[in-house]
Amino acid sequence: MSFWAEILREVSINETQKASEIFNLDLPLALRNFSYLDEESYYQGAIPEMIRAFSAKLPDKERQTAQSRENDLIDFVLDSALKQIKRSVRLLQFCFEFSDYDLKTLAREFPYW
C-alpha cells in the first residue's frame, strides 16, 4: 500500500496519531532521504531520482543550472507534494466531521482550498 493511501486509511478510522507518524516520518524519508559518501551528503529516493532523470535530458547549460540547484528543487518538490497530501487529509477529516453536509456545502465551507 502506498503511504498516501495508508495515511488516508488511518485518518478514516480515526487513527490520527498513526497517520501523523506516517506523514511526518515515513513518507518524507521514502520520497527523499540522505546518504553519505566520503564525508559528503546527497539525496536519495523517488524525488531525487526523478529530478536527476529530468535534469539529464536538459541541454548542457540548463542541465548545469539544474544540477547546481538540485537540492533546492528536490526540497521544493517534496514540500509541494506534502502540502497537497496534507490538504487531502484535511479534506477527509472535514468530510467526516461534517458528514451531514451536502457536496456543495462541503466545497463552500472547506477552509483549505
Per residue in 57-107, pLDDT tens?
999 999 999 999 999 999 999 999 999 999 999 999 999 999 999 999 999
Per-residue pLDDT at 1: 56
What confidence tens digit (pLDDT) does each residue in 17-34 have?
999 999 999 999 999 998
State how far the Cα of 29 lies from the Cα of 45, in Å rounded to an integer: 8
What confidence tens digit (pLDDT) does each residue in 30-60 have?
999 988 877 778 899 999 999 999 999 999 9
Per-residue pLDDT at 105: 96
What are the residue boundaries of the structural domains of the chain, listed by start?
3-109
Report pTM: 0.82
State how far the Cα of 90 lies from the Cα of 18, in Å rounded to an integer: 15
State how far the Cα of 68 lies from the Cα of 54, in Å rounded to an integer: 14
State how far the Cα of 99 lies from the Cα of 92, in Å rounded to an integer: 10
